[in-house]
Amino acid sequence: MLNANVKDLLNQQVNKEFYSAYLYLDFSNYFETRGLDGFANWYKIQAQEERDHAMLFYQYLHNNNESVTLDAIAKPDKVLDSDMTVLKAGLEHEEYVTSLINGIYAAAYEVKDFRTMQFLDWFVKEQGEEETNANDLISKMELFGSDPKSLYMLNSELAGRTYSAPSLVL
Ligand code: FEO
């Protein structure tokens, strides 16, 4: 049995990760409408990764004989009125998710739940990578976004992103 608070936070994270998937699908939706298919691809794959994250939390709870409650997923609430707004919303969201992961880690640490801390180690590293990716996208857009040819090339680069399953297997 997991500590009740740790269990609740892990269960909430299932929902938060599915929300992240839904949010990034909305970002992809924005870029599809803009005609920037590479950006749309990048965020569609991001959405797939978020679903994977949700399922890792789901499976971890079941592997520990805990039930999972599936709550309603909130409507994506970011105002997407420019390319840069979307990219910055992505970074802001990842920083928020990092704070959530850190919060679960702190709760597990408090009750000496070393198993959960070890499980979360992968997510701590993943959040570092996701914030870096979001920052890199913003930097590239700042450098190249105002020039149509450069934007075309950046879009082509992002079209090359392919999905790969998470390295963490439960
Ligand atoms: Fe599941 Fe983008 O953090």
CATH number among 3.40.30.10, 3.20.20.140, 3.40.50.1100, 1.20.1260.10, domain 4-159: 1.20.1260.10
pLDDT value for 131:
98
Mean per-residue pLDDT of the chain? 98
CA distance to 99, 108, 139, per residue, from 105 (Å): 10, 5, 30
Atom of ligand 1 lying closest to residue 24 CA: 2
CA distance to 17, 38, 152, per residue, from 54 (Å): 5, 25, 33
Atom of ligand 1 lying closest to residue 130 CA: 2
- Whose C-alpha lies nearest to ligand 1, atom 2? 94
For the record, the structure tokens of 135 come out as 């920052």
Which one, of 118, 113, 152, 7, lies nearest residue 66 by Cα? 7
How close is the Cα of 130 to the center of ligand 1, in Å?
7
- Whose C-alpha lies nearest to ligand 1, atom 1? 50
Give the tens place of pLDDT for each residue, 49-70.
999 999 999 999 999 999 999 9
Q: How far apart are the first and last CA of the chain?
A: 17
How close is the Cα of 64 to the center of ligand 1, in Å?
22
Spell out the domain ranges in the chain: 4-159
- Its pTM stands at 0.97
